[in-house]
Amino acid sequence: MKKPFYAQDFTKGQIFNLGKKNITKDEIIDFAKKYDPFPFHLDEEEASKTVFGGIISSGWQTALIWLSMMHEMFLTYETIMGSPGHDAMIWKNPVRPDDTLTGTLEILDSKISKSRPEIGFVKYKTELINQDSKQVFFTESTLIIKSKPHI
């Protein structure tokens, strides 16, 4: 089990490893059938005729892969209280079948709420890169995190 992090535990410049995830063609197709049925996510022949030149993951699937990596390696349910939203979300390069994605997260800022000192806001940026060191996903966002209890 991961140790719970409180808002005060984060400082600008900290970097966290989000681990690795391999992406299969079947995962891409299964997701696309249910949520994003463009031909370049579903059919190799049709995808080969597009600008992508083959099957690629939906950008939303890539974002959810990142989120699952956050849950596995970083988020602690005891203290994380959600997010007010993303400031940026970018898909620079497509994710392809058999890609291995590696994630990192860097803390940009951490502050305790003046009006609600029981919570803090931790701003971060994170990215996923593939096995060729190409960035496939980037987001900048903020987490709402509990503050350390006053004893």
CATH number of residue 80's parent domain: 3.10.129.10
**Side chain identity at 93, as an amino acid letter?**
N
Going by pLDDT thresholds of 50, 70 and 90, the confidence category of residue 151 is low
Sequence-distant (≥ 6) Cβ neighbours of residue 111 within 8 angstroms: 7, 120, 121
- Of residues 11 and 150, more confidently modeled: 11
Question: Tens digit of pLDDT for each residue in 121-139?
Answer: 999 999 999 999 999 999 9
- Determine the average pLDDT of the residues in 60-66: 97
Residue 9 CA, chain-centre distance (Å), reads: 21
pLDDT of residue 149: 80
Q: How many domains does the chain have?
A: 1
Per DSSP, the residues of 91-117 read --S---TT-EEEEEEEEEEEEE-SS-T
Between CA 142 and CA 121 the distance in angstroms is: 6
Q: Does residue 13 lie in a domain region?
A: yes
Q: Does residue 1 lie in a domain region?
A: no
Sequence-distant (≥ 6) Cβ neighbours of residue 131 within 8 angstroms: 99, 100
Q: Does residue 84 lie in a domain region?
A: yes
43-59 in b/e burial notation, b at 16+ Cβ within 10 A?
eeeebeeeeeeebbbbb
CA angle 130, 135, 141 (to 5 degrees): 120
Between CA 46 and CA 43 the distance in angstroms is: 5
- Res. 62: pLDDT tops 80: yes
Q: Does residue 25 lie in a domain region?
A: yes
Domain range for 139 is 7-146
Question: Tens digit of pLDDT for each residue in 6-52?
Answer: 999 999 999 999 999 999 999 999 999 999 999 999 999 999 999 99
